[in-house]
A and B are shown apart, each in its own frame.
Chain A
Amino acid sequence: MDILKALAIAGSAILMFLVLELIRRGRLKERYALLWLFSSIVLLIFSLSRSLLEYFSRMIGIYYPPSLLFLIAFVFLLLITLHFSSVISGLSEKNKRLAQEIALLRKALEEGQRSR
């Protein structure tokens, strides 16, 4: 077994372990973990099976099969960051609504106290 393969297997195995551990401890919500879990599984499969990696590389015209691993990792990272952008947008909208609600509630509360 060549060093590159060992490194690839170790890397994707560690990634998968980290994701599973974070889910187990409740530090990562399942909803956000799905993409991570899926990408680490795909990476692990391709690291384990050189023939599968070579088959898909030839299919899309990649001459150096390990490059496919980088491509897969890159595409997943793109998807994950896009997902984060959309999650953050949603969070900041909700955050704004909360701030506005607090301002209006505080005003109503002050009025209530004054009239008492």
Chain B
Amino acid sequence: MNKILIIIPAFNEEVSLPGVMQDLRNHAPDADILVVDDGSSDRTAAVARQTGVNVASLPYNLGIGGAMQTGYQYARNNGYQIAIQFDGDGQHMAAEIGELLDLLRQGRADIVVGSRFLKRGEYRPTFFRKVGIWIFSTVLSAILGMPVTDTTSGFRAVNRRVIEFFARAYPEDYPEVESLVLLHRAGMTIAEVPVRMRDRTGGRSSITPIRSAYYMIKVLLAVFVDLLKKVR
């Protein structure tokens, strides 16, 4: 049996969670769902429980990295063969999960990342975002030795090998970008598939425009620190 777990890290997402659950029920009815409530101050955990999915509540806010890792530990402990990262804010589309799974099931990669930027003209970022995206993908492509376009995408599907790796070691600060570097260094293969993404339906992005330049410098530093790390 190929058990699939969809991990949804949620920090104050009570507004958007019901819509996300509906979307997942329609398009991925066979998969189990785990909402990791990252110490939310609103009714995130209660709202998630009402929809009948699994909920793990962290005692305090760990940040996206620690919350996501909780999901991977749950996947490891409960014998899931595949885990899917899915955002709780409604920007990912459940209908696209199949695309990610296809590539993973063919065994062509250990992790499949859904990329907004592979489809031409679908996504129109602002100028500054464009520059940031270009810098990230250029640096990451050089490190990984393969072209990657959407390094900050949190829409991913991974196999058992990666589940076990992430349950042990998952980066805390900028997990999307950093995890690609760590996986590459651990000898895993990475693939991207084009996906569409929606604008956010509720909540607020953790990246405000003012902070993005500072954010970029910090991420790049974190990536270089990851290159120094010993990978077990």
Q: Which residues of B contact A104 (CB under 8 A)?
A: 56, 70, 73-74, 77
Q: Is the CB of B57 within 8 A of A106?
A: yes
Q: Which residues of A contact B73 (CB under 8 A)?
A: 100, 104
Q: Is the CB of B70 within 8 A of A100?
A: yes
Q: Give A64-116 interface residues, CB cut-off 8 Å to B.
A: 96, 99-100, 102-104, 106-107
Tell me, rounded to whole Å, the shortest Cβ–Cβ distance linking B62 to chain A: 6
Q: Contacts A96-B66, A100-B69: A107 and B56 contacting too (C-beta < 8 A)?
A: yes
Tell me, rounded to whole Å, the shortest Cβ–Cβ distance linking B59 to chain A: 5
Q: Is the CB of A103 within 8 A of B60?
A: no
Interface flag for B212 (CB, 8 Å) = no
How many Å lie between the Cα of A102 and that of B56 in the bound state? 9
* Number of residues on chain B facing chain A (CB within 8 A): 16
How many Å lie between the Cα of A103 and that of B39 in the bound state? 10
Q: Which residues of B contact A102 (CB under 8 A)?
A: 58-59
Instruction: Output the nearest chain B residue to A102 by Cβ-Cβ distance.
Output: B59
How many Å lie between the Cα of A106 and that of B56 in the bound state? 7
Instruction: Output the nearest chain A residue to B63 by Cβ-Cβ distance.
Output: A96
Tell me, rounded to whole Å, the shortest Cβ–Cβ distance linking B38 to chain A: 9
Q: Which residues of B contact A103 (CB under 8 A)?
A: 36, 56-59, 70
How many Å lie between the Cα of A99 and that of B38 in the bound state? 10
Interface flag for B22 (CB, 8 Å) = no
Q: Give B46-97 interface residues, CB cut-off 8 Å to A.
A: 54-60, 62, 66, 69-70, 73-74, 77
Instruction: Output the nearest chain A residue to B65 by Cβ-Cβ distance.
Output: A96
Tell me, rounded to whole Å, the shortest Cβ–Cβ distance linking A32 to chain B: 25
Instruction: Output the nearest chain A residue to B172 by Cβ-Cβ distance.
Output: A96
How many Å lie between the Cα of A59 and that of B178 in the bound state? 47
Instruction: Output the nearest chain B residue to A100 by Cβ-Cβ distance.
Output: B70
Q: Which residues of B contact A96 (CB under 8 A)?
A: 62, 66, 172
How many Å lie between the Cα of A96 and that of B66 in the bound state? 7
Chain A residues within CB distance 8 Å of chain B: 96, 99-100, 102-104, 106-107
Could you pull out 22 A-B pairs where Cβ atoms are within 8 angstroms? A96-B62, A96-B172, A99-B58, A99-B59, A99-B62, A100-B58, A100-B62, A100-B66, A100-B70, A102-B58, A103-B36, A103-B56, A103-B58, A103-B59, A104-B56, A104-B70, A104-B74, A104-B77, A106-B57, A107-B54, A107-B56, A107-B57
Q: A99-B60, A103-B57, A106-B56 are in contact. List 19 more A-B contacts (CB 8 A).
A: A96-B62, A96-B66, A96-B172, A99-B58, A99-B62, A100-B58, A100-B62, A102-B58, A102-B59, A103-B36, A103-B56, A103-B59, A103-B70, A104-B70, A104-B73, A104-B74, A106-B57, A107-B55, A107-B56
